[in-house]
Amino acid sequence: LCVCIPPETDFFVYFLCQRYVEEIVLVNDEEIKAAVSTLYRAGLLVEPSGSAAFAAIANDRIPDIAGRNVVVILSGGNIGKDELTNFPDLNI
């Protein structure tokens, strides 16, 4: 589903993650599908990879954000109507 999130990475990216990333949060395909659908119904066409952060927040994977200002970067426009067939609830 997420064609732009590679399952493997090179050493440099791994090094940067070791140094700067505190935590990695995982979301599954169903959560990403729901996120893409929710965003689409809100008028935003975001590819599955670009909606992963929104999926994490929508599924309460990020602790201690209640009452705080939260920014989610939605990225990726590499999705067309043919790929939207993966989201039957959109009735496209």
Residue 3 lies in a domain: no
Please report the pLDDT score of residue 92 as a whole number. Answer: 61
Please report the pLDDT score of residue 19 as a whole number. Answer: 94
Please report the pLDDT score of residue 25 as a whole number. Answer: 92
Residue 23 lies in a domain: yes
Please report the pLDDT score of residue 68 as a whole number. Answer: 93
Mean pLDDT for each 10-residue chunk of the chain (92 residues)? 64 87 91 91 89 95 91 83 73 64
Residue 17 lies in a domain: yes
What is the residue range of 38's domain?
11-90
Query: For residues 68 and 55, what is the distance between their CA atoms, to the nearest angstrom?
Result: 18
Please report the pLDDT score of residue 53 as a whole number. Answer: 94
The 10 Å Cβ neighbour count of residue 32 is 25
Please report the pLDDT score of residue 13 as a whole number. Answer: 82
